[in-house]
Structure 1
Amino acid sequence: MSNIENLSKNTWVTLLLCGRFGERDIEARPLNQSEFHELDHALEICKLAPEDLIGVSPMDLKAAGVIHGLSAKRLARLLTRKVDLEKTIDVWSQLGIWVVGERDEHYPTRLRQRLKSARPPLLFGAGVMDCLDMGGVCIVGSRASGEPALQFSNALGKRCASEGLTVISNDMRGVDREAVSTALENSGQAVIVLSDRLEKSVVSRRYRDALANKQLTMVTPFSPNASFSVANAIRLNRYQYVLSDVAVIVETRRKGGVWTGADENRIEKWVPAFVRVDHPMSPGTFALLHLGLHAITQNDVESTDSLGDFFIAQASKDINNKNHDAINTDEFVKPKDLYSFFLAELQNIAKKTPRTETYIMKYFEIERIQARKWLVRAVEEGLIDKENGKDSYTAK
């Protein structure tokens, strides 16, 4: 259900200032998040709000010290885009897209409290808006994850649906889409945080019924017609975490958006985070476990009496013991340190095929000096062989 026809004046002006619509105008470049918040703060000091900019000369505001570092000409041009905005709003309304500004009462409290000045000025979406403040389980993982990761994501999505836990993820293929689709197929609830193309997503065959049945909410801090960009895809991760109650990282490399989001959440401490434990584990996944994230196995997902209670119980445990206690499968034994993990994984990749130092360095995403140090140690311990006259190693 769209709220477009009843936009607050503050949100209307925020759209004029920050929205990306109509023809591009070099002199009317929309304000970015930081610029808008600086302007908004200056307005608050003067006991004003964005809506007060309508009908007021930008030059007068600049003279009063309201506009810091913003061109009066640029601001004036942005505020004159009313016709283009009205046309754009008509399109959004027909698609069922809603808009909420940070001064509106329906703006998610979680974003306001957890991101503070880093919160987006505008959110665009479709579906039930109230779901954005109901929390849920953030489920993320690599797009190129293998079958075990997909099976885990499927089991987790199904379990969330059965317990009434909202799945919060995005529409990237692989782990994320598997979790969302499974939850929806099992009459569950989901929130999809998008980095691009909301206008196309709301009419896609994949999610049309779920939106109509009020099972699904789509939301993005980016313009509904925004095309894909790596920068936006990486920024997207933080919104998934702050909207949730708990996060599960199914699989990750030691770089990229999934890793960046997990590490930012670890530093900011927005929500308790779990990492899928399996054997073998990717270097990135194991690194998160080593950094203190809680462990969760597919057996935990499928066998625990209450997934919600499991999350609460594990997140409450002492950080020094939580990883060991969370693992309840005999098929996996956590290596004691990173070198032990290195050896265990090397057995998998170099048992049948000799691997060069360069290949090993890139596979584990570690510095060459570290790879060489561990390889020399493993050779000395008689655990691997180095081929004579070659820079290749074979696991015994």
Structure 2
Amino acid sequence: MPTLSTNTQAILLLTAPLITGRSASSSDLLSPGEYKRLARHLREIQHQPADLVLPDAAHLMRSCQPVVDEARLRRLLARGFLLSQAIERWQTRAIWVVSRADAEYPRRLKVRLREDAPPVIYGCGNMALLESGGLAVVGSRHVADTLVDYTMSVGSLVARAGRVLVSGGAKGIDQAAMRGALEGGGKVVGVLSDSLEKMAMNREYRNRLLNGQLVLISPYDPSAGFNVGNAMQRNKLIYALADASLVVSSDLNKGGTWAGAVEQLDKYKFLPVYVRSTGGSSLGLDALRSKGALPWPNPQDTDALKAVFSAFLPAPGPCSRPNLVLFSEDGPSDVTPTPPSFPVTVSSEPLQRRIAIPSGEPVTSTPGLVPSAAMPPEINPTPAMTSVLADMLFVAVRAAMKELLRIPMKDVDVAVALDVSNAQAKAWLQRLVNEGVIEKQKKPAGYIVKQSSLFE
């Protein structure tokens, strides 16, 4: 369990109900939108949430008055005793807590959701699974037994393929998918909208949590009950933690499954969305197909399942932003740069697998790139042609990397943001260093663009 950082404690005091019994949630709590504005304000004035709990924080609280009333901040931050009780309760149940200010916070959520990522994540189980990607399987709560069996078979196939299954933990399709994967020896991420504490103590899941096969997370208090709004809001987390998704069943124009799939298709576009293509017809699934969802190819073996992660996606629409920048509250250096003005195409495949590179010749101009797509057999690429293609690829990502590195970033974070291997990211970074475009600094550690090259 990660240590509860001072930043996380401050964020909990500001946003969390801290349910330790039957106590009601405080009406003073900052809403997600209010906290987003406060976090942005703190970054702009070179502060972080932890600074609000320092002994000399009175001046800082007053400076936040335009965003949040000072008296309200004081009431929230004075809940230290209640927080200590909540922490003790969570620890006895092996529940951990991380905030966006922590290094342990899931990078996929930071990269894909940015300011929409929940300020705090509660969890129990193997935290490493949150960085594994996998297949998200979602659907309605009330379905026929035939669909339950179908969904369990999908979960079992995901387990045999060695991929992680991501779902919402609700009755019906979600739990069927999770059960199929767990019984098949696979690993599962459950993103809950309520009752994390109760679910973590469930006999069906307890041993899976202990042996690292399962992680349960929620952006809501571990003791919180069901809330329709919360169920709707957590759907984006399911998609953000996966590489592809399957909607097994959905109502038309209503329900959390419908809302989450539409939000993914119309706004975020992180990954391919498939809909079940066998069995009885469904108005909801047909409507999702008309919005761009793909028919599920019904893979029967692990090799066929791998193909579902390779679908191409359209470029993000006007309402979605290029997901190129990590976001957190962990200090003054966290400044969100202006997104690049060029179009960005999103795909579930790593960058080097989306661009055709000739096989048979080394990529001399961009060391570290691993060719994985061959040119047609009738074309015999020369070393010069390979070099030109490698240079074209580098030019395509050069502008994006300059935008990324307006703030210091480590090579592993650049690799995540560009969806390439660490080796490829290092190779491109070194080339930019050699060109004098970026430099490597020690405090804070990472690569950053040189001011002189910002306007080139």
* Superposition TM-score, scaled by structure 2 size: 0.65
Residue 365 of structure 1 corresponds to: none
Residue 263 of structure 1 corresponds to: 262
Residue 5 of structure 2 corresponds to: 8
**Would you say 1:17 and 2:14 are equivalent positions?**
yes
* Structure 1 residue 56, shift from structure 2 partner: 5.1
Inter-partner Cα distance in structure 2 for 1:191 and 1:107: 15
* Structure 1 residue 66, shift from structure 2 partner: 2.9
Residue 218 of structure 2 corresponds to: 220
CA contact (8 A) 1:106 1:130 kept: no
Residue 285 of structure 2 corresponds to: 285
Residue 180 of structure 1 corresponds to: 178
- What SS does structure 1 have at the residue aligned with 2:299? helix
Q: Which structure's residues are more often helix, by fraction?
A: 1
**Would you say 1:108 and 2:106 are equivalent positions?**
yes
**Would you say 1:53 and 2:49 are equivalent positions?**
no
1:286-343 Cα offsets, whole Å, 9 max, x none, are 111222211115xx232563311x2134x14999xxxxxxxxxxxxxxxxxxxxxxxx
* Structure 1 residue 124, shift from structure 2 partner: 0.2
Inter-partner Cα distance in structure 1 for 2:36 and 2:128: 24
Inter-partner Cα distance in structure 2 for 1:233 and 1:200: 16
Inter-partner Cα distance in structure 2 for 1:317 and 1:220: 28
Residue 36 of structure 1 corresponds to: 35
After superposition, residues 65-144 of structure 1 pair within 5 angstroms as 65-144=63-142
- What SS does structure 1 have at the residue aligned with 2:130? helix
After superposition, residues 326-337 of structure 1 pair within 5 angstroms as none
* Structure 1 residue 102, shift from structure 2 partner: 0.2
Inter-partner Cα distance in structure 2 for 1:36 and 1:284: 35
Inter-partner Cα distance in structure 1 for 2:208 and 2:156: 16
* Structure 1 residue 8, shift from structure 2 partner: 1.0
Alignment equivalent of 1:152, drawn from 150, 153, 159 = 150
Residue 274 of structure 1 corresponds to: 274
Residue 250 of structure 1 corresponds to: 248
Inter-partner Cα distance in structure 2 for 1:50 and 1:287: 43
Inter-partner Cα distance in structure 2 for 1:53 and 1:318: 43
> Does the C-alpha gap of structure 1 residues 317 and 50 become closer, same or farther in structure 2, counting only changes over 3 Å?
closer
Residue 356 of structure 1 corresponds to: none
Residue 334 of structure 1 corresponds to: none
CA contact (8 A) 1:277 1:295 kept: yes
CA contact (8 A) 1:259 1:284 kept: yes
Unaligned runs of 5+ in 1: 320-396
Q: Alpha carbon RMSD of aligned pairs, Å?
A: 2.0
1:78-108 Cα offsets, whole Å, 9 max, x none, are 1111111111101100100000010101111
- What SS does structure 2 have at the residue aligned with 1:224? coil
Q: Which amino acid aligns with 1:238?
A: K
CA contact (8 A) 2:52 2:61 kept: no
- What SS does structure 2 have at the residue aligned with 1:270? coil
Inter-partner Cα distance in structure 2 for 1:79 and 1:137: 40
CA contact (8 A) 1:58 1:75 kept: no
Inter-partner Cα distance in structure 1 for 2:155 and 2:302: 15
* Structure 1 residue 273, shift from structure 2 partner: 0.9
- Which of 66-75 and 174-183 deviates more? 66-75
The count of corresponding residues between Structure 1 and Structure 2 is 310
Inter-partner Cα distance in structure 2 for 1:62 and 1:95: 34
- What SS does structure 2 have at the residue aligned with 1:96? coil
CA contact (8 A) 2:166 2:189 kept: yes
Q: Which amino acid aligns with 1:76?
A: R
1:36-72 Cα offsets, whole Å, 9 max, x none, are 1211111111111111111356652354x33323121
Inter-partner Cα distance in structure 2 for 1:92 and 1:101: 15
CA contact (8 A) 2:108 2:240 kept: yes
> Does the C-alpha gap of structure 1 residues 57 and 317 become closer, same or farther in structure 2, counting only changes over 3 Å?
closer
- What SS does structure 1 have at the residue aligned with 2:204? coil
Inter-partner Cα distance in structure 2 for 1:303 and 1:188: 15
CA contact (8 A) 1:98 1:126 kept: yes
- Which of 170-179 and 182-191 deviates more? 170-179
* Percentage identity across paired residues of the two chains: 34
Q: Which amino acid aligns with 2:15?
A: C
- What SS does structure 2 have at the residue aligned with 1:258? helix
CA contact (8 A) 2:135 2:245 kept: yes
After superposition, residues 353-392 of structure 1 pair within 5 angstroms as none
* Structure 1 residue 263, shift from structure 2 partner: 0.5
Residue 374 of structure 1 corresponds to: none
- Which of 39-48 and 254-263 deviates more? 39-48
Unaligned runs of 5+ in 2: 316-456
After superposition, residues 190-201 of structure 1 pair within 5 angstroms as 190-201=188-199
CA contact (8 A) 1:17 1:79 kept: yes
Residue 164 of structure 2 corresponds to: 166
Q: Which amino acid aligns with 1:8?
A: S
Larger radius of gyration: 1
Residue 450 of structure 2 corresponds to: none
Inter-partner Cα distance in structure 1 for 2:209 and 2:234: 21
CA contact (8 A) 2:178 2:188 kept: yes
Residue 233 of structure 2 corresponds to: 235
- What SS does structure 2 have at the residue aligned with 1:218? strand
CA contact (8 A) 1:42 1:67 kept: no
